[in-house]
Chain A
Amino acid sequence: MFRKVLIANRGEIALRINRACQELGVATVAIFSEADRDSLHVRQADEAFCVGPGPAGRSYLNIPNIISTALITRCDAIHPGYGFLAENARFAEICSDHGLTFIGPKPSVIALMGDKATAKRVVSEAGVATTPGSDVLASPEEAQSVARSIGYPVLLKATAGGGGRGMRVVRDAAEMQRAYAGATAEAEASFKDGRLYIEKLIVAPRHIEVQVLGDDFGNLVHLGERDCSVQKPSHQKVIEETPAPNLPARARTALHDMALRASRYVGYTNAGTLEFLVAGDEVYFMEMNTRIQVEHPVTEMVYNIDLVKEQIRIAAGESLGYAQRDLAARGHAIECRINAEDPQNHFAPAAGMVSKVVFPGGPGIRVDTHLYAGATIPPYYDSMVAKVVAFGDTREVAIARMERALRETLIEGVSTTVGLCLDILSTPEFRDGRYDIELLLKEPTPR
């Protein structure tokens, strides 16, 4: 097992990683920007180094300062969390060049699955159905011809993209030229890579993802599926749950099988998530995230497995120690992401000082947060401040506990999406477990 791990992240996930390390008896080093000096993970870690000013590019993405910190403090490994450098294959290589273990899959696998268009091609070689579409497009003309053959409407997506950015809906051939130019420019600006690919736009699909875990000895398991269809118009997830409600058994089995098949084909190790679009009985692979995900707690509650500890154990060379038949899902878990945003103002991020904080507790409630009374939310990073997770033997109990927990939640000083989550939970679609990604869309389809 590692003696010391550097946590290359911030906020709630840095705290999460710190907790897993502490339980494993591993010392921790926190890195922070000047804006996060008083952050909870900085206080909890055994050592802490400032690596730059507020803006992420100069701090949490500052590879030289992060590697330098790891070497100076004699760390064995680096956990990248999610976002920032988590899916940066070059960073994973640099870690290994300096004798530091990157807690995640191999750099080649990160690079392969990180390119969305390539990932789809590779996965379909493994016999996994992918959303009809194209590889990276060479020109608007190619886009037109692909779109004609798979049928409009289509989605133009950035191959280097993620988080719902760099996407355009194209309803017919007349819109293609302009959409292509616009999407290219946006992708260039956001990801420094303007290449696009096309996907058939599946109307009102469900977004269901599967968690996998693999060790270095060829053992690979899945830990069920998560329904993440409750998304903002920008495709940012708001509520996730497991198991996916009202999913036909055939579709559920297909999801798990496809996830294992694709992961095995690319020799996947450590934790990963495969995202699918589900329309009725049809299941299509969309993309793979080669990291721990924000919504991992719901899987942890239902499988009673600490995924972050498993990541660390696997990276330290330990074998899983269990097979698929040893795993059984029990009960139902829901997570609500609480963001410091103003739902009344197009979810504009709110920064400032949180004057008062009360988080819920009681049976079946887990809260992952770095927030505390008097903490200041800096303006430089994403706006998520807490994850409230509710577990119950049945979905009804989980929903009832979540509603109670959200009503108990008090965050003063900034506006948050607590009210939005309560509203969503009260809709007939959510309560019946019959919703798709259009639940929160005000317009019929995204831009």
Chain B
Amino acid sequence: MEHRAYIGIGSNLGRRVANVERAFAAIGELGTLLAKSSIYRSDPWGKVDQPWFANAVALLQTALSPRDLLEALQAAEQRLGRTPGERWGPRVIDLDLLLYDELDIDETSLRVPHPHLRERGFVLVPLAQIDARFAALRDALPESEARSVSPLGESDSAMPIRENDSIAERVRALARFLADGDAVRVRITRPDDDIEVALRAAEPIASRREADRAPTKTAAPRVDTIKADLVGIFHASRPAPAEGDTFEGDRELGYIEALGIRTPVHSMGGGRLVSISAIDGTAVEYGQPLFAVAR
């Protein structure tokens, strides 16, 4: 079954724009990339003594479950060069699972919709660009937040030079500017003439190695959690199902006994039993996870 996931991308280290482009490619490996927003420049959220971010949002069509997708994105972050550092600090690449279909998930390490989605201009602006449903939320952002996000353009890369700066000072400023940014083209404007220099971003070695590996597009399996839909005593069936069991088609995995009535618990289709979460002979409540089945 295909799902739609919105993934937020951010980078404020190294060649930001190139990093975002590589992120789009990595996300595309997990399914089909349906849409990519433009790349925006934003001021850092939270810690403010950080360089600016390049941000974008991708819409991915995928068969991966939310948790599998989250793990795949974390793996991609590591491949793309992120080291687990401080929260909200500088990062080569940051991939956030923003939305997954219309699902609402609130678990320890997986929260969808992303908890800060509504407050972040650098998420809402690119998101609204590829999905007009979010335009209202974007327009509702406080002005300061909305102003902190702007499309990347030449005007953002103006490096102010003061009249009395010495040559050395200017060269140092230029070096800092080039190291700091993703400049592809540099225009030097002087009273009498302009010089334009085109730079070509060197292809980072990491992404070449990535291309060599050429990962095959395997769809990660979906895992369904079978939950109790009534209150009672849970019993596993006999013979007892075990982790790793595979079965074709629906199978009765156990039953819940309540008020003298046994209500069977079904696997809801074929698959592989990944885990058994309930203890045989104990009480279960509504919504309590019983089995995890990988399809």
Interface residues of A (CB under 8 A from B): 34, 49-53, 59, 64-69, 71-73, 98
Contact = CB atoms under 8 A, between A and B. Distances in A.
Interface stretch (B65-73, B140-148, B230-238): B230-238
A297 to B, nearest CB: 32
Given A64-B230, A65-B230, A72-B231, A50 B285 contact: yes
A50 B258 contact: no
A68 B230 contact: yes
A103 to B, nearest CB: 20
Contacts of A98: 259
Name, among A34, A64, A68, A69, the residue most crowded by chain B CB atoms within 10 Å (CB to CB).
A68
Nearest to A71: B259
Nearest to B258: A68
B288 A72 contact: no
B285 A51 contact: yes
A69 B231 contact: yes
Given A50-B287, A66-B231, A73-B283, 20 more contacts: A34-B287, A49-B283, A49-B285, A49-B286, A50-B285, A50-B286, A51-B231, A52-B286, A53-B287, A59-B286, A64-B230, A64-B258, A65-B230, A68-B230, A68-B231, A68-B232, A68-B258, A68-B259, A72-B232, A72-B283
Interface range on chain B: under 10, 10 to 19, 20 to 34, or 35 or more? 10 to 19
Contacts, number: 42
A49 B259 CA distance: 16
Q: Nearest 4 A-B pairs (CB), nearest first? A: A68-B258, A50-B285, A68-B231, A65-B231
Contact of B231 (A34, A49, A53): A49
Contacts of A69: 231, 285
A98 B233 CA distance: 17
B286 to A, nearest CB: 5
Name, among B231, B232, B258, B259, the residue most crowded by chain A CB atoms within 10 Å (CB to CB).
B231
Contacts of A34: 286-287
10 contacts: A34-B286, A49-B286, A50-B231, A64-B231, A65-B230, A65-B258, A65-B286, A67-B259, A68-B232, A71-B259
Chain B interface mostly helix, strand, loop or mixed?
A: loop
A78 to B, nearest CB: 14
Nearest to A51: B286
Contact of A50 (B232, B233, B259, B288): B288
A64 B259 contact: yes
Interface string B205-245: 00000000000000000000000001111000000000000
Interface of B: 230-233, 258-259, 283, 285-288
Nearest to A59: B286
Contacts of A59: 286
A70 B288 CA distance: 17
Contacts of B288: 50
B105 to A, nearest CB: 13
A51 B287 CA distance: 8
A68 B233 CA distance: 9
B86 to A, nearest CB: 26
Nearest to B233: A72
A96 to B, nearest CB: 14
Nearest to A98: B259
B103 to A, nearest CB: 15
Contacts of A66: 231
A72 B231 CA distance: 9
Contacts of B287: 34, 50, 53
A186 B278 CA distance: 45
A393 B287 CA distance: 51
A18 B287 CA distance: 24
Nearest to A94: B259
A90 to B, nearest CB: 15
A169 B288 CA distance: 49
A71 B287 CA distance: 19
A279 B258 CA distance: 52
A357 B152 CA distance: 44
Contacts of B231: 49-51, 64-66, 68-69, 72
Contacts of A64: 230-231, 258-259
Name, among B259, B285, B286, B288, the residue most crowded by chain A CB atoms within 10 Å (CB to CB).
B286
A69 B283 CA distance: 9
